[in-house]
Amino acid sequence: MSKADNMLAILWLLKSRRRMTAKQLSDELEIHIRTVYRCIDALCISGVPIVAEVGRDGGYTIPDSLKLEPLFFDEEEQKALLQAAAFARESGYPSEEALNRAIAKMKRYTNPQQLESMERREAHIEVIQPLAASALTAILAELEAGIDGGVSLDIAYTSGYDSDATKRRIDPYGLVHWRGKWYVVGYCHLREELRSFRADRIDGIANTPERFERPAAFSARQYLLGSLLSEPGEGDDSDDSLISVLIQGSPQAIQELCGHWLLGHALVERKASEARFRVDELPLYTQIAYYLLSFGGKLRVVEPEELRSHMVDIIDDLQSFYRS
């Protein structure tokens, strides 16, 4: 038997009997006693609380408080796990090797009929997106290790297309996968505040001797969304600072517009061919205006007039750029 099979067999023997010596385990499984010792050590390292008692009546035991229940998955659960693994792999998931080992174990300890069904249904859902570069996967693994160990990290970070890399020291609190990109959220020592950093813009990363405590109940996801989306009335007792935007267009275009992450949260009123939003001025002119241009003639900005003028200016600038 393989080492994994021996470990599993020892585990079940110790669960089913009160106490067994290494010699008894060796005789029962017909393996060398040194193999028993190695398997016991491996089980302890993996977290199984095996108690070793010395003396005449000694041996190995498992506390009664430990419940060992077999991990059985039905066909739908197996399919869901396999397909979830496919999504994780395509995203540049930093623990892909461990994920592949877990999937291999699930396939190994199943009957031939289940295995055939799993392999047939594994390809029912496929993911199409650019594969993550190996360098990004390595950076994600280092970020995750820093988060897990509470270790401050030194990174070289490029914030934009034309800027040079700057050295930052960060306390990484969490990783977020957002719209095909990985972000690390944490405390930036340079800016002395919480910041988010795109993992693909990190050119170098190194551990430091410093340690940090992650704030209790901190959500990297909520911070990232909060930094991208401004909720109505946030930081103010009223929404007077928000700009009303009325857009008309084809029902299909309005449907897509209302479901977009930039505008879905700001929807105030909607009809089949019309939608009204209330948004902050900054994202309206720096992000939303460019997004609206991607619809071509399928959408029309009714108000405000300033937004229409701004979009015309964007088009004029682009024309001048490409004609030059």
CB atoms within 10 A of CB 32: 10
> At residue 279, what are phi and psi to the nearest 5 degrees?
-135, 160
pLDDT score, position 240: 60
Q: Do domains 3-61 and 147-227 have the same CATH topology?
A: no
A 10 A CB-CB count for 123 gives 10
Contact 173, 215 (CB under 8 A): yes
Per-residue pLDDT of the chain (324 residues; tens, 9 = 90+): 678 888 888 888 888 877 899 999 999 999 999 999 999 998 888 778 888 888 777 889 888 766 555 556 777 788 888 888 888 877 778 888 888 888 888 887 777 777 888 888 777 777 776 666 667 888 999 999 999 999 999 999 998 766 788 999 999 999 998 877 899 999 999 999 999 999 989 989 999 999 999 998 899 998 988 877 654 444 443 456 789 999 999 999 999 999 898 888 889 999 999 999 999 888 899 889 999 999 999 999 999 999 999 999 999 999 999 998
CA distance 256 to 294: 12
Please give the pLDDT value at position 42: 87
| CA pair distance 15, 191, nearest whole angstrom | 54
What dihedral do alpha carbons 72, 75, 79, 81 form, nearest 10°? -10
**φ, ψ of residue 53 in degrees (nearest 5):** -110, 130
Establish whether the linkage from the previous residue to 304 is cis, with ω within 30° of 0.
Answer: yes
- The CATH number that domain 243-323 falls under is 3.30.70
Q: Which residues, in sequence order, are CB contacts of 129 under 8 Å at separation 6+?
A: 90, 91, 180
Contact 16, 24 (CB under 8 A): no
Domain 3-61, classified CATH 3.30.43.10, yes or no:
no
pLDDT of residue 245: 95
Give me the half-sphere count of Cα atoms (radius 13 Å) on the Cβ side of residue 202. 28
Q: Where are the domains of the chain?
A: 3-61, 75-121, 147-227, 243-323
Has domain 147-227 been given CATH number 2.30.30? yes
